[in-house]
Amino acid sequence: MKEYYDVIIVGTGAAGLYCALNLPERKRILLITKQEADQSDSFLAQGGICMLRGEDDYQNYFEDTMRAGHYENNARAVDLMIRSSNSIIRDLVERKVDFTRDETGNLMFTREAAHSQPRILFHEDITGKQITQTLLNEVKTKENIEICEYMTMVDLIEKDNVCGGIIIMDTENNVYPVYAEHVVLACGGLGGLYQNSTNFPHISGDALGIALKHQIQLEHMDYIQIHPTTLYSQKPGRRFLVSESVRGEGALLLDKNGQRFTDELQPRDKVSQAIFAQMEKEGSDCVWEDMRPLGKDVILSHFPNIYQQCLEEGYDPCKEPVPVVPAQHYFMGGIKVDLGSRTSMKRLYACGETSCNGVHGKNRLASNSLLESLVFARRAADDILFGTKTEFQCTQVDIRQYEDREQILSEYHAAVRNEIERVKNSHE
């Protein structure tokens, strides 16, 4: 690891990797991650990635996204995402992402809840892993990109609201100031702050705490999505997500008596509310998702990973309903950015789940997350290359203030929790 890079990218999920790949090879790039490079939430995305299916689909796709977001979306950001989708998909295919195809070789599409028609490309039920691993493999071939694992960002280097790099710490509390012309925060969400979450526990909103410290603008900190269907388990740890596309393909939600109690194709927040209400009514810990209407062939071919996870919990979804419960899943708020992924601090960008560009509004539409991450990661790369340049007056960093990594992170996490509560209370 060097002391100076052209670009530092914090995070090795889809957003961070794609931003790096959209920068020219003359740029010296450092990617850092708290764990191993493949331990990002992008690898966990199951359902797929949306794509505009021709001009006839535009208004429906736009309306589906706005309706799911309770019309609190940034319409310009939604338009940009949708209009960019075909070029993103073409690029992914050129990079050898293996989307599922029919017997004639055409791309296959599935449907998920709150979508008016099938427009979601997929690879079995591990689409996020297929896309992100493909990007990671390509990044590893680039001589200009260095990946540093088990490194945690604990602060920004900044002066007069201009970012000049980051402070990072390893697992033994060794401190490294690293300088760069541009810094991109692609650190993921905040699921690690919750007891029940589909996220990796180490993805816990660190960048948000750092942003609060430096008075970087945040937005919609209380917009936290609960996914309606995660596999119920009494085991501790991350909750396994049962993809939205399972219900999109025809799975039903049942009460303890085996009766349907809601429309399974509503937006996620509505389905979650219905499940919570049913659990309270019954005094139960879960409801039941019946995949049998899909048929054994569809379950085994489209959802093999979900099938295997259910078996490991003692349930055969080909023969019986499986228990599901809502859990924290996605963060629609975050570090406020414009359409170029610029934050309120000069030379600092944010993309992916840690950012808030307004695409998702109050509630994210299924399978828009991977697309949004890639679109705005590319926008960040474009602005780094072609945007206005700002000089940074180099400042000396006193590393003595950074002694205990866990204590620093604990303070950031407490600040984020307090900010979420403050914003919630301000709306009541």
Structural contact between residues 33 and 394, judged by C-beta atoms closer than 8 angstroms = no
Residue 91 has pLDDT above 90, yes or no: yes
Task: Note the pLDDT of residue 44.
Answer: 93
**The two structure tokens encoding residue 333:** 């708020």
Task: Note the pLDDT of residue 47.
Answer: 87
Q: Using CB atoms within 10 A of its CB, is residue 289 exposed (0-12), middle (13-18) or buried (19+)?
A: buried
How many CB atoms are closer than 10 A to CB 374?
29
Percent of all residues in the chain with a pLDDT value above 90, rounded to a whole number: 92
pLDDT per position as a tens digit, 210-267:
999 999 999 999 999 999 999 999 887 889 999 989 999 999 999 999 999 999 999 9
Percent of all residues in the chain with a pLDDT value above 70, rounded to a whole number: 100
Task: Note the pLDDT of residue 1.
Answer: 87
Mean pLDDT in residue range 348-352: 98
Q: What b/e sequence results for 311-340 when a residue is b if at least 16 CB atoms lie within 10 Å of its CB, and e otherwise?
A: eeeebebbeebbbbbbbbbbbbbbbbbbbe
Which of 87, 84, 78 is closest to 60 using CA atoms?
A: 78
- pTM of the entire structure? 0.93
Task: Note the pLDDT of residue 256.
Answer: 95
Task: Note the pLDDT of residue 87.
Answer: 98
Task: Note the pLDDT of residue 384.
Answer: 98
- Please list the active-site residues: 268
pLDDT per position as a tens digit, 279-290:
999 999 999 999
Residue 195 has pLDDT above 90, yes or no: no
Task: Note the pLDDT of residue 288.
Answer: 98
Look-up of token digits 């490309």: 121
Task: Note the pLDDT of residue 250.
Answer: 95
- Side-by-side strand order, sheet with 334-336: 218-219, 334-336, 355-356
Instruction: Provide the sign of the torsion angle of the four alpha carbons 113, 117, 120, 125, taken in this order.
Output: positive
Across the chain, mean pLDDT equals 96
Task: Note the pLDDT of residue 236.
Answer: 79
Residue 396 has pLDDT above 90, yes or no: no
- The contacts of residue 82 (CB under 8 Å, 6+ apart) are 52, 58, 61, 62, 65
Residue 374 has pLDDT above 90, yes or no: yes
Structural domains in the chain, sorted by start: 4-223+332-427 (3.50.50.60), 228-328 (3.90.700.10)
Task: Note the pLDDT of residue 405.
Answer: 93
Task: Note the pLDDT of residue 378.
Answer: 98
Mean pLDDT in residue range 86-96: 98
